[in-house]
Amino acid sequence: MAEKLKVTQVRSSIGCKQNQRATLKSLGLRKIRQTVERDDTPQIRGMIHIVRHLVTVEEVTS
């Protein structure tokens, strides 16, 4: 059973560094309040860490 992470963008990427914008795009986030589910892997955790000030994260267990 793989854990999932529910990632929601809560702040705009305007004024952010280019690598932070690219990280949001690679997570699949384009708009504020958009939510995506991703597998809980070290790579995804690292991407979330880069944009931690722009997103909220919830763990989904099911």
CATH number for the domain including 35? 3.30.1390.20
Q: Which domain holds residue 32?
A: 4-60
Instruction: Give φ, ψ of 23 to 5 degrees.
Output: -65, -45
1: Cβ contacts below 8 Å, ≥ 6 apart: none
Q: Dump pLDDT digits (tens) for 1-37.
A: 569 999 999 999 999 999 999 999 999 999 999 999 9
The pTM for the full model equals: 0.91
Alpha-carbon torsion, ordered 59, 17, 23, 7, to 10 deg: 20
Confidence band for 42, pLDDT divided at 50, 70 and 90: very high
Per-residue pLDDT, 1: 52
